A and B are shown apart, each in its own frame.
Chain A
Amino acid sequence: MSMFLETLIGGLLAGTMYSMVAIGFVLIYKASGVFNYAQGSILLFAALTFVSLTDQGVPAFGAIALTIALLVLMAITIERLLLRPLTNRSPMTLFMATLGLSYLVEAVAQGTMGSQVRALDLGIDDLPIFLGDIMISQFDLVAAGVALTLGIALSLLFNRTRIGIQLRGVADDTRAALSLGIDINRIWQIVWAVAGIVGLVAGLLWGARQGVQFSLSLVVLKALPVLIIGGFTSIAGAILGGLIVGASESLAETYIGPFLGGGITPWFAYALALVFLFIRPAGLFGERQIERV
């Protein structure tokens, strides 16, 4: 029983790491209807920039500020050179464009900052904590806390600030928002920048765990099923989806894996997402679109 509980809790905590990546997708999807495949590359870029700066002796605070400045610049560039020319194109075209973007961002990141694996020490000791028989990772607890804080902060941003309300307006009805004089391009820039910052936070946590290196960009593959389950448009959904994926993946590897020879995590989350889709085609928190003909 304690084994089961430990697996479950460990999985839930690991799931918040997925949630953090997924939140970046949700922000962008909500505001610009783009499924941003390049989020993983941006995460890599952000973490790599931060580490490169601190390696150069820049203090952590300054490195974060500089990285954020760079991410904002990147968001503006992407909006101007990619999103604006592609306005009113189908979601699939936009998705494929972000695939291309991910190549470019990866090339820039590795080309300018090198491909060596960098260590990133956030000062969190990852020693086990025991609650009775149940072992909990200290690092995962911190990560879960960060994910939760991030979720709450973004929800506040969406609900309490003027920009957030405009942003929701854009998400709900682009045309109406335009007619109200909301500068949609600026909203896009802001959202992409915020998503970049979310990527930085996620990148730092993932980077602390596995080193800052190319494979950080692969975490998008974990975020996808999370999004499917939680819905593309809800931050709460992203968090819940992450928890579900983390927990079920962990339980499945422990209890189903041995019967199938193990190593089932890469596809298990996708199979789970498929099952969810059959039950709720728009995800847990997603809204079903009404077809208009």
Chain B
Amino acid sequence: MTTPTRPALELKNVSLSFKGVKAISELSFRVEAGEICALIGPNGAGKSSLLNILNGVYVPDAGEIILEGEHFSRMQPLEAARRGIGRGFQNNALFSGMSVIDNAITGLSRHSRLTLVEEMFRLPRARHEERRFRERAHEVLRLFGLDRHAATVVGTLPYGVQKKVELARAIVAEPRLVLLDEPLAGMNASEKQEIAAVIARLNRELKLTIVLIEHDIGIVLELAHHVVVLDYGRKLADGPPETIRDNPDVIAAYLGSERAEIAA
């Protein structure tokens, strides 16, 4: 476990560009262990790109990522997962040809210790692990009310349900830090409330550090302990929700404009 004095995650002067176009410029902020940190900002502000840097999908041009005290100039996707970073994607990146339960179990992949031969012959160790994984996956599916869809092929489910599967897959491997890209998008109000409650519970009960991107400012202010506002790849504001709400820059650039509605 991390000590409270050390941040779970810290970014220092991280920059990223695509074909010469700056997506993120010299961004720095901290995420304390056990907090829910919300990234907000208009589309194209670089929020998803930032998560992709943390997951090692994108390689930053410059800067440093400090994860639980360790310094990285870039992450590797597998390394990130191994270090306990879970991830939920914006446009469901589920494995559409697989069932709900298989999607969830796949999230446990890095915990598998089996060899091919054990799997092929279904040796006792293989059966044991399969059973363990299946139980764990069911446990998480129940948390999201998904167990009745366990055997359904994911691609056939409605969007809102798929988002829940996405969440379940993100947390099934018991990460210490979860990055969620618009986990509430495409849901109706009651679903949003339901999932927000689950996220809050995960944070509270499992001491899970959560970084999430969300456009619904109401929910963000309610859920987050800490808000970082991005605009055109730069940090506009950083602080507890109350201060953000009152920050004139943010109001001008974001909250006060219509963009919030459009984006949401």
Contacts and interface: CB of A to CB of B under 8 A. Distances in A.
Decide whether A and B assemble into one complex: yes
Interface of A: 290-291, 293
A293 to B, nearest CB: 5
Contacts of B52: 293
A92 to B, nearest CB: 14
Nearest to B52: A293
A18 B57 CA distance: 37
B89 A293 contact: yes
A290 B48 CA distance: 13
A212 to B, nearest CB: 45
Interface size grouping (class) on chain B: under 10
B121 interface: no
B116 interface: no
Contacts of A290: 18
Contacts of B91: 293
B93 A293 contact: yes
Contacts of A293: 48, 52, 57, 89-91, 93
Interface string B35-58: 000000000000010001000010
Contacts of B90: 293
Q: Ordered nearest first, which 9 A-B pairs have the shortest CB separation?
A: A293-B93, A293-B89, A290-B18, A291-B57, A293-B57, A293-B52, A293-B90, A293-B91, A293-B48
A291 B57 CA distance: 8
Given A293-B48, A293-B93, 7 more contacts: A290-B18, A291-B57, A293-B52, A293-B57, A293-B89, A293-B90, A293-B91
A286 to B, nearest CB: 13
Nearest to A288: B19
Contacts of A291: 57
A293 B57 CA distance: 9
B32 to A, nearest CB: 26
Nearest to A287: B19
B83 to A, nearest CB: 19
Nearest to B89: A293
B235 to A, nearest CB: 23
A291 B58 CA distance: 9
Nearest to A290: B18
A290 B59 CA distance: 11
Contacts of B93: 293
B167 to A, nearest CB: 15
Interface string B199-212: 00000000000000
A290 B91 CA distance: 16
A171 to B, nearest CB: 17
A288 to B, nearest CB: 9
Interface string B205-238: 0000000000000000000000000000000000
A245 B21 CA distance: 34
A291 B91 CA distance: 13
A290 B18 CA distance: 8
9 contacts: A290-B18, A291-B57, A293-B48, A293-B52, A293-B57, A293-B89, A293-B90, A293-B91, A293-B93
A290 B90 CA distance: 16
A293 B18 CA distance: 15
A291 B93 CA distance: 12
Nearest to B90: A293
A64 B264 CA distance: 59
Nearest to A291: B57
A273 to B, nearest CB: 25
A291 B49 CA distance: 10
A148 to B, nearest CB: 30
A291 B52 CA distance: 10
A293 B180 CA distance: 12
A66 to B, nearest CB: 46
A293 B91 CA distance: 7
A193 B90 CA distance: 40
B59 to A, nearest CB: 12
A234 B173 CA distance: 44
Nearest to B51: A293
B183 to A, nearest CB: 14
B47 to A, nearest CB: 13
Contacts of B89: 293
A293 B89 CA distance: 6
A120 to B, nearest CB: 46
A93 B10 CA distance: 44
A174 B102 CA distance: 34
A265 B181 CA distance: 50
A291 B77 CA distance: 13
A89 to B, nearest CB: 14
Interface in B68-95: 89-91, 93
A290 B93 CA distance: 16
A293 B93 CA distance: 7
B216 to A, nearest CB: 21
Interface string B1-40: 0000000000000000010000000000000000000000
A293 B179 CA distance: 13
A293 B52 CA distance: 8
Contacts of B18: 290
A180 B90 CA distance: 27
